[in-house]
Amino acid sequence: MAINFVPLDKEKHKDLKVAVNTSFSFAKNTHLAAATIREFAQLAATMPLVFIEDTNAKRHHVVTMLGMEQGQNLFLTGDSWKGPHVPMNILRYPFDVRPDGDKLGVYIDENSDLISDEGQALFTEAGEVSEFLENRQKFLADLANSEMLTQRFVAKVVELDLLDQIQIRLTSNSSYLPRW
Name 38's Cβ contacts closer than 8 Å, sequence gap at least 6.
88, 142, 146, 149
The string of pLDDT tens digits covering residues 28-38 is 999 999 999 99
Contact, 135 vs 127, CB < 8 A? no
Neighbours of 27 (CB within 10 A): 21
Domain boundaries, the chain: 5-159
pTM tops 0.75: yes
| pLDDT interval class at 140 (50, 70, 90) | very high
Does the pLDDT at position 82 exceed 70? Answer: yes
Rounded to an integer, the average pLDDT of 50-57 is: 92
The pLDDT confidence band at residue 23, using thresholds 50, 70 and 90, is confident
* Whole-number pLDDT of residue 169: 75
Position 172 scores a pLDDT of: 64
Confidence of residue 180 (pLDDT cuts 50, 70, 90): very low
Question: For position 175, what pLDDT does the model report?
Answer: 54
At 176 the pLDDT is: 52
The pLDDT-based confidence of 173 (bands split at 50, 70, 90) is low
